[in-house]
Amino acid sequence: MGYNTFTREKEGGTLKLVKSQGLSNWTLAVGKWWGIFLPVFLISTFLFAIGGVLLGTLSNFGSFEVTHLLLLFAVYLLFYAIFTNLTLVVSMLSKSSGIALVMLLTLWIIICLGAPKAASKRS
């Protein structure tokens, strides 16, 4: 979602314009981080709340604990925060949006598909 966060502004020349307004690099990066993270945070919060209500109202579901659901929610947000940081760093360091997209897709394939597969192999 944010692969071209910085590269789009570099390619369009608007990054220099934004920096000329006196905005620090840190403030710009934090604002872009929240811009990427906030939509997923809001959607996740809504969906986990619905899931908690539905699971909490089922009488024959078994043992449901809100703390387990909150722990899962926290782990999910941590996972997304790590990917948001990776996305911004790659976008900052890349020269073009296409390169950033290919690098992030490669990282995603390695981290989400390759690493679990390699970790599950028995020797």
* Residues ≥6 apart with Cβ < 8 Å to 83: 108
First to last CA, the chain: 37
Measured CA to CA, the distance from residue 13 to residue 7 in angstroms comes to: 10
63-109 pLDDT per residue, tens: 778 888 999 999 999 999 999 999 999 998 888 889 999 999 998 88
Average pLDDT over residues 4-25: 84
User: Given this model, what pLDDT does residue 122 score?
Assistant: 65
One-letter amino acid at 32 equals K
Could you report the per-residue pLDDT of 49-74, keeping only the tens digit for each? Answer: 999 888 888 877 677 788 889 999 99
Sorting pLDDT into bands at 50, 70 and 90, what band is 44?
very high
Tokens of 49: 């709340």
Task: Flag whether the pTM goes above 0.85.
Answer: no
Residue 18 pLDDT > 60: yes
